[in-house]
Chains A and B, each alone.
Chain A
Amino acid sequence: MAMIKFRRERCKGCGLCVLACPKNLLMVSSKINRSGYPVAKIDDMKSCTGCALCAEMCPDVVITVFK
């Protein structure tokens, strides 16, 4: 089982992680962080394989991956 964590205060809501996920599990939510950006989130953590492609594509190192 894999787990990814978002560091929400660093997210800029660009959505590059959303494009990178091979299973389309990520989305940009309607929640706003302190900088005023909508933040990325994952709902279906059980389906995540921990491939880390989202983390690789993130320009701000928001995502950390555990496996």
Chain B
Amino acid sequence: MKQTFKRPKALVDIPSHFCPGCHHGIIHRLVAECIDLYGVREKTIGVASVGCSVFLYDYFNADVVEAPHGRAPAVATGVKRARPDNFVFTYQGDGDLAAIGTAEIIHAANRGEQITVIFVNNTVFGMTGGQMAPTTMSGQETTTTPFGRDLKTNGFPIKMSELLTELPGSTFVARAAVNNSKNLMKAKKLLKRAFEVQINGEGFSFVEFLSACPTNWKMTPKQATERVQEEMIPYFPLGVFKGGQE
């Protein structure tokens, strides 16, 4: 018997701090698999954000820099410009990238920096206890919107992928989900393309992952994966927005 599925080498063999049913673990593994696939583990520099993704340096068997809240694309810019031969990626949540870090991501994309950004959108501030994020859906109950997000006073959920698609500096922009195995297989392909964009020196690549947060959504893991399918995907459509397969 041959082992056909095992832990990727780029993922350190320690228990994760993620809640049961959280999709962060799956996305971590997909990134680690891609690092193994392209053989860039020895020259990978990850840039971690603030939020549930903050322990990137514990989980990845690669070098990781911790950036101030929202500033991961700015730190990654510096890392990549100083060491252009290294593979540089950032891994950020929606409370980091879409809220406090909006300026950094827009300008990094607009400058066409040679970095890969992995954006995990779970429509809520996860680590701090479930406050409203810019990506929170209309009517979604959070600790800061106990009666549901009101679009009149709180604005609309921000669509980061569509926003970055419009910028002339971005090369590859896509949105994926990992709520079922079909979407997960598509997500793998998109992530591979995002890695290739940087490895081939084509420019800035961005992949948004729709993720479940069962704890802060106050749902079971099963209900949370269903919510991704029924509520999030209709508003945040999946697919490649810019720079598909060569």
Contacts and interface: CB of A to CB of B under 8 A. Distances in A.
B16 interface: yes
* Chain B: number of interface residues, binned into ranges: 20 to 34
Contacts of B214: 14
Contact of A56 (B2, B23, B184, B220): B184
B225 A13 contact: no
B143 interface: no
B221 A66 contact: no
B186 interface: no
Nearest to B26: A59
B5 A55 contact: yes
Interface in A25-67: 35, 37, 50, 52-53, 55-61, 63-67
Interface of A: 1, 3, 10, 12-16, 19-20, 35, 37, 50, 52-53, 55-61, 63-67
Interface of B: 1-7, 11, 15-16, 18-26, 29, 178, 180-181, 184-185, 214, 220-222, 225
**Considering the complex of A and B, which 8 residue pairs feature the smallest CB-CB distances, nearest first?**
A59-B25, A12-B20, A14-B21, A65-B5, A14-B20, A14-B221, A66-B1, A55-B5
